[in-house]
Structure 1
Amino acid sequence: MRDDLQLNALGRKTEYKSDYAPEVLETFVNKHPGNDYWVRFNCPEFTSLCPITGQPDFAEIRISYLPDELMVESKSLKLYLFSFRNHGDFHEDCVNIIMKDLIKLMNPKYIEVTGLFTPRGGISIYPYANYGRPGTKYEKLAEYRLQQHDL
């Protein structure tokens, strides 16, 4: 492993947190900050708990972002998403928390997070949240993507 990366999770024994753990998220330097390009993650085994009943909720979480100076390291992202396993929050909250934590972590140009939650009580919920850096073309991208979402 390269010493200059300063990563704690990658290449080490996996330690799973028992509850919501944003502190496990790690970044590395983007070698192409002048380029606009998509980075996409798909977590088909996301679980959290209903804050009222304590029953498990299952989802596929999709994250897409345009990086700036920093990028999220994928193993730390996996550990972070798995830390929701015993965390009680509504679907919409989970998606917004994930997005806000990633904005705080790496200050991307643009990011969107979608949760494809499996049905409970006969209803599926698919919350979507996005963000574009204010005062930039990415803010306009966020407005456009939100308006065009699910058309």
Structure 2
Amino acid sequence: MSKTNPREVTLRFLAQPTDVNFGGKVHGGTVMKWIDQAGYACAVGWSGRYCVTVYVGGIRFYKPVLLGSMVEVSARVLYTGRTSMHIAVDVQAGDLKDGEFSKTTHCVMVFVATNDHGNPTPVPEWVPHSESELIDHAYAQRLMELRKGIEEEMGQRV
């Protein structure tokens, strides 16, 4: 059997009573946990290595996830560095009865693959081919440039 490196992963969850906050909506922290799980699954699937989260940026909650909703958390590789992977994660939720889903959350994560000693290790390069893949790749590069400015600014506060 040959090894493949899937670029995308989708996890599905049912929003349960244990997931909700006092307002009756799913906790933002629960959504963030799902995001981290999908991002991790995508990073490990791509790299074939244990991966660690090194950055989560621009998380945007568009609308709440409701109790009983089917939740789909999709992660896809946008860009690869030598040891890192930039992964977009989108959350959609909807009512199973009518099948209507809408985007609730979006963010970009950076994972680093590690070797058996916990040190960064190279990952397979992802090369975009289609127009949508080229758009994803350019998006990741723009975010990397923006992040440099953010990190510089935040570094002054340490």
Category of TM-score, reference length = shorter chain: 0.3 to 0.5
Q: Which has the larger radius of gyration?
A: 2
TM-score by length of 1: 0.33
TM-score by length of 2: 0.32
